A and B are shown apart, each in its own frame.
Chain A
Amino acid sequence: MKELLVVKNLKTQFKTEAGLVKAVDGVSFTLNKQEIIGLVGESGCGKSVTCLSIMKLVRPPGEVVDGEVIYQGENLLKYSAKGKEMSSIRGAEIAMIFQEPMTSLNPSLTIGQQLIETMEQHLGLNYKAACKRAADLMEMVGIPKAVERLDDYPHQFSGGMRQRVMIAMALSCNPKVLIADEPTTALDVTTQAQLLELLKDMVEKTGTSLILVTHNMGLVARYAHRVYVMYAGRVIETSTTKEIFANPLHPYTRGLLECIPRLDEEKARELVPIKGLPPNLINMPPTCAFLPRCPYRVESCYREPWAPLRSVDGKYGEHYTRCDVNTLEKVR
């Protein structure tokens, strides 16, 4: 079995005073064994909520209202969030690395206590064995003087070191799926390179699979095998990384690639910003959510409902998109 995690038609909503926010509105994707997939999009596109939904960590007023998350043949959404089944999967089988390590580490416990606790619980190790493994993990993620530093508290670590601790913690129980939600956004580029190289090694050596959530198209290009581009709570285009970058079809994907400067360009080309702002997710119209910002829109876009993902010919692998710039240009 190649498919490790399958998300089908996931819908997560938040009931707010202003109205119902459809943060994730029918997202589907698959993660294969030993694969890195990239979930990309701007803030508010639903990529983080998708991850939290998989982990069953969505808190009220948020709620997963529909869909399936199938992990090794079992639908995780049928388990209760606090139940025994989920506890044995979360952290042990599917682990998550959060963007802001300071808020996800307990400031009143030492790093060692936090690492050891998880391993005693999930791996059934005794205290001594857990200590040994904790030190090994810290060393593996590149923390100097690992044994001594187990007794330090989170505030005694720098930002980059804290994120390494988070990675050590996520890896502590040999998870099969690792979800990294903007793991390096707050860090410097050289630290970012160190940490992502580490994650890539993990995938190659231990056979873990990685969901890399980011807004950085460069990181996706460097590390991901396949990409899912998200907008307004839905996947709008997906294919292999090479295909997406060589042949972006959706106007939003094109926009994302044209609005960033590239380090290797000879002369500074003019950047094409995406006009307007991401939509408000309350009371979304049935038409394409990108329509108000789309430079390629045609008259029929205003009449037709938002098109589903459809298969198109791809040079570098299967390619699905909701919209095709080339067809729009023919109509214009």
Chain B
Amino acid sequence: MQNDVLLEVNNLKKYFPIMRGLLRKKVGEIKAVDGVSFALKRGETLGLVGESGCGKTTTGRCILRQYEITDGKIVFDGEDISSYSENNLRKVRRKMSLIFQDPYSSLDPRQSAGSLVGEPLKIQRILSSQGEYNDRIEELFRMVGLDPSMTSRFPHEFSGGQRQRLGIARALACNPSLIICDEPISALDVSIQAQIINLLKELQTKIKDLSYLFIAHDLSVVKHISDRVAVMYLGHMVEITSSSDLYKNPLHPYTQALLSAVPIADPFVEEEREHIILEGEVPSPIDPPPGCPFHPRCSLAIPECREEVPELREVDTGHMVACLRV
């Protein structure tokens, strides 16, 4: 029987060395991801939110093994890929792909739309004949709502929203089971954002067992598209819960502050809401505070919070929190 879990990340760490001086001596480390664990089921969308520098993008890149990971384990589709060689990774990467934030800079301007979408097929040597290849590209264009007659056009002839559709078609090319969406809509105008969100949701209903890891800073969008949401702060996972519970019952003080900072487009609701305003800024990941990463800004902090990093533990069915005070 096939395992229900597609991706399992266990205590993932990624430290970037800081090199200085003539001899490029290592003088420190940026702890971009510092012990992150979560699991993603088949056909599920897990949202990964947090503010800039919290390590959400790095987490995505580590799963794709674009970075060598410092420590931890990544199990994808039953295989431990944490120390796979490039050769072994090629086969795995067929099953996972990435949608980038900026549809302007992530598409090669000299390649036609058709060849951009078909490139992964060629790299993975999936299809045998030219006819099959052309059919697949046509199919991919239709899937993302682009006219297949546009295959010979170049990226600059497409609007921002259409370019992001190209990016999605390219990500779908090899029939992946996991797509990592890294801020896929933040470069687009509001009216276009909805089109892309709807497209991503629609694809998931059409393609059986397609999972998304949806990385974004916009909490409303993440909550809208995800089944579960994971909140990150300074390289740590602070809370994981179902999307429906996120707004109703946030437990971690950081999640509460983050939710409260997002304005709701309804003046009547806003009038009633309590606004938690955090003090100060996110500390540097080069020299993170000891213990709980959030304690310097936390209104509930007690001396113990300074001593140990709180473990992510299940407090309710499917609701995980890393906080001593919960």
Residues on the B chain within 8 Å of A194, using CB: 277-278
Q: How far is the CA of A192 from the CA of B263 in the complex (A)?
A: 10
Whether A272 contacts B194 by the Cβ 8 Å rule is yes
- Whether a CB of chain A sits under 8 angstroms from the CB of B1 is no
CB distance from B2 to the nearest CB of A (A): 27
Identify B190's interface contact among A144, A191, A215, A264, CB under 8 A: A215
Binds A, one of B108-116, B214-222, B306-314: B214-222
Determine the main DSSP class of B at the interface with A. Answer: helix
Contact A217 B265, CB 8 Å, known A259-B193, A261-B220, A270-B198 = yes
CB distance from B214 to the nearest CB of A (A): 12
**Most chain A CB within a 10 A radius of its CB, from B219, B221, B266, B277:** B266
Residues on the B chain within 8 Å of A242, using CB: 267-268
Whether B223 contacts A261 by the Cβ 8 Å rule is yes
Residues on the B chain within 8 Å of A222, using CB: 263-264, 267, 270
Contact A189 B198, CB 8 Å, known A219-B263, A262-B264, A263-B264 = no
Chain B: CB-nearest residue to A44: B189
Residues on the A chain within 8 Å of B265, using CB: 217-218, 220-221, 245, 257, 260, 262
Whether B219 contacts A264 by the Cβ 8 Å rule is no
Whether B277 contacts A193 by the Cβ 8 Å rule is yes
Contacts of A188-246 to chain B: CB distance below 8 A: 188-194, 197, 215-223, 241-242, 245-246
- Whether a CB of chain B sits under 8 angstroms from the CB of A298 is no
Task: Report B23-53 CB contacts with A as 1/0, cut-off 8 Å.
Answer: 0000000000000000000000000000110
Residues on the A chain within 8 Å of B195, using CB: 273
Whether A271 contacts B197 by the Cβ 8 Å rule is yes
Contacts of A16-48 to chain B: CB distance below 8 A: 42-43
Whether A263 contacts B257 by the Cβ 8 Å rule is no
Q: Place the interface of chain A in its size category.
A: 35 or more
Whether A274 contacts B191 by the Cβ 8 Å rule is yes
- Whether a CB of chain B sits under 8 angstroms from the CB of A255 is yes
Identify B224's interface contact among A271, A274, A277, CB under 8 A: A271
- Whether a CB of chain A sits under 8 angstroms from the CB of B81 is no
CB distance from B252 to the nearest CB of A (A): 14
Task: Report B230-270 CB contacts with A as 1/0, cut-off 8 Å.
Answer: 00000000000001100100000000011111111111111
- Whether a CB of chain A sits under 8 angstroms from the CB of B281 is yes
- Whether a CB of chain A sits under 8 angstroms from the CB of B146 is no
Whether B278 contacts A188 by the Cβ 8 Å rule is no
Whether A189 contacts B51 by the Cβ 8 Å rule is yes
- Whether a CB of chain B sits under 8 angstroms from the CB of A268 is yes
- Whether a CB of chain B sits under 8 angstroms from the CB of A256 is yes
- Whether a CB of chain A sits under 8 angstroms from the CB of B299 is no
Q: Place the interface of chain B in its size category.
A: 35 or more
Whether A261 contacts B217 by the Cβ 8 Å rule is no
Q: How far is the CA of A195 from the CA of B264 in the complex (A)?
A: 17
- Whether a CB of chain A sits under 8 angstroms from the CB of B19 is no
CB distance from B188 to the nearest CB of A (A): 10
Identify B220's interface contact among A197, A220, A263, CB under 8 A: A263
Q: How far is the CA of A245 from the CA of B265 in the complex (A)?
A: 8
Q: How far is the CA of A246 from the CA of B271 in the complex (A)?
A: 14
- Whether a CB of chain B sits under 8 angstroms from the CB of A103 is no
Whether A160 contacts B191 by the Cβ 8 Å rule is no
- Whether a CB of chain A sits under 8 angstroms from the CB of B225 is yes
Contact A189 B219, CB 8 Å, known A42-B190, A218-B262, A274-B191 = yes
Residues on the A chain within 8 Å of B221, using CB: 261
- Whether a CB of chain A sits under 8 angstroms from the CB of B131 is no
CB distance from A201 to the nearest CB of B (A): 11
Q: How far is the CA of A193 from the CA of B244 in the complex (A)?
A: 23
Whether A259 contacts B263 by the Cβ 8 Å rule is no
CB distance from B53 to the nearest CB of A (A): 9
Identify B159's interface contact among A190, A197, A245, A277, CB under 8 A: A277
Contact A263 B259, CB 8 Å, known A190-B51, A245-B267 = yes
Supplied contacts A190-B257, A197-B277, 16 more A-B pairs, CB within 8 Å = A142-B279, A189-B261, A215-B189, A218-B263, A223-B263, A245-B267, A245-B268, A260-B265, A262-B220, A262-B266, A263-B259, A264-B264, A268-B224, A271-B224, A272-B194, A273-B194
25 contacts between A and B (CB under 8 A): A144-B280, A161-B281, A189-B219, A189-B262, A190-B261, A193-B277, A194-B277, A197-B277, A216-B263, A218-B262, A218-B263, A218-B265, A221-B263, A221-B267, A242-B268, A245-B265, A256-B191, A259-B194, A260-B220, A264-B269, A267-B244, A273-B194, A273-B198, A274-B191, A274-B194
